[in-house]
Amino acid sequence: MATSEPRLTVKESLTPSELDDVGALVREARWNQLAADWRLFVEFGRLYAIHGDAGCIIATTATLPYGGRFAWISMVLVAGEYRRRGLATMMLRRAMADLTAAKLVPVLDATPDGRAVYRKLGFEDSWGFQRLIRRERPRAAAHVGAPAGVTVRPITDADWPALCAYDAAAFGAERSAVLAGLRGRPQIGPLIADDDAIAGALVARALDGIEGPLFVDLADSKRELRNVLDAHGFAAARPFTRMLYGSSARFDDDARTFAVVGPEFG
């Protein structure tokens, strides 16, 4: 039986069955994205999808613009039986073309396997980070207190505008809509702080309130904070390289960027 050529579409919404399709792609890749993440891409960015002969989504790529300067490319997923057919490259090229036409610099976070592919497409290495995972809370860990004159407390709605402005200055673009969609999730990131002592105090306070599994995507340069996380039971899961199309110059503040949101959001 003849099969139809793969058709690339841009999704303006996802039906319940399509959410099941993309959820299956996430599980097959052993990633951790939720339905809420896909809705963020559809609402604030662009989701590219390829449907198979049966009508289900078999491949995806997402883009998320930030501040008219740059945009993330992520969620490059292809169902196992459809791999090595050029579908991922086709979607990437379409996404890159759309972003450059909009005068946005494409940025992505690459796994070691993906890095070689992206380099061939013109992406350059910028800096690296590690995904660290704590499977369970250790019975005892060294306490890290806040430095003198610094108070660590939960974020309130009144804090939100100033927090988003502080984040934008360090990240290189405003992203309050994405941050709002991530509030309350069991993760640490983004972690933006003026110095190691404050970053360590923020992490320690966060860890005190979370019992179960937890992950953080920590910049390779933040060795002091890595020691704190190691003492709290975190272990390396996999490395990532942040890459920019045609450039290695980062947009964010490397001194204040301790942990990123994640490879899907930047």
Compare 231 and 217 and report the one with higher pLDDT. Answer: 217
Query: Is residue 239 over pLDDT 50?
Result: yes
- Do 147 and 202 share a domain, yes or no? yes
Grade residue 152 by pLDDT with cuts at 50, 70 and 90: confident
Mean pLDDT in residue range 133-146: 72
- Do 150 and 193 share a domain, yes or no? yes
- CA angle, 169 then 48 then 4, to 5°: 165
- Do 59 and 154 share a domain, yes or no? no
pLDDT single digits (tens) 157-202: 999 999 999 999 999 999 999 999 888 777 889 999 999 999 999 9
Grade residue 226 by pLDDT with cuts at 50, 70 and 90: very high
Residue 6 gets which letter from DSSP? P
For residue 15, the model assigns a pLDDT of 93
Which residues are CB-neighbours of 4 under 8 A, at least 6 positions away? 53
- Do 94 and 150 share a domain, yes or no? no
- Do 14 and 75 share a domain, yes or no? yes
For residue 65, the model assigns a pLDDT of 97
Tell me whether residue 153 is in a domain: yes
For residue 126, the model assigns a pLDDT of 98
Tell me whether residue 1 is in a domain: no
Decide if 81 contacts 32 (C-beta within 8 A).
no
Helical segments of the chain, H only: 16-29, 35-44, 87-101, 112-120, 160-171, 176-182, 196-208, 223-231
For residue 8, the model assigns a pLDDT of 86
Tell me whether residue 266 is in a domain: no
- Do 233 and 144 share a domain, yes or no? yes
Query: Is residue 260 over pLDDT 90?
Result: yes
Q: Which of 103, 120, 140 is the last residue of a domain?
A: 103
Tell me whether residue 196 is in a domain: yes
Kindly state the tokens that stand for 38: 């896909």
Tell me whether residue 121 is in a domain: no
CA–CA dist 111, 263 (Å, integer): 9
Q: Which of 87, 103, 119 is the last residue of a domain?
A: 103
Grade residue 140 by pLDDT with cuts at 50, 70 and 90: low
Tell me whether residue 79 is in a domain: yes
- Do 135 and 99 share a domain, yes or no? no
- The whole-chain average pLDDT of the chain stands at 91
- Do 17 and 139 share a domain, yes or no? no
Number of domains in the chain: 2
HEC readout, 134-145: ECCCCCCCCCCC
pLDDT single digits (tens) 39-87: 999 999 999 999 998 889 999 999 999 988 999 999 999 999 898 888 9
Which CATH number belongs to the domain containing residue 67 in this structure?
3.40.630.30
Query: Is residue 2 over pLDDT 60?
Result: no
Residue 211 domain boundaries: 130-238+248-260
Tell me whether residue 113 is in a domain: no
- Do 232 and 151 share a domain, yes or no? yes
For the chain, the straight-line distance linking the first and the last C-alpha, in angstroms and rounded, comes to: 43
Tell me whether residue 154 is in a domain: yes
- Do 13 and 58 share a domain, yes or no? yes
CA–CA dist 260, 189 (Å, integer): 5
Grade residue 1 by pLDDT with cuts at 50, 70 and 90: very low
- Do 137 and 253 share a domain, yes or no? yes
pLDDT single digits (tens) 128-138: 999 999 987 77
Query: Is residue 127 over pLDDT 60?
Result: yes
- Do 138 and 252 share a domain, yes or no? yes
Decide if 155 contacts 212 (C-beta within 8 A).
no
For residue 143, the model assigns a pLDDT of 64
Mean pLDDT in residue range 244-249: 96
Which CATH number belongs to the domain containing residue 135 in this structure?
3.40.630.90
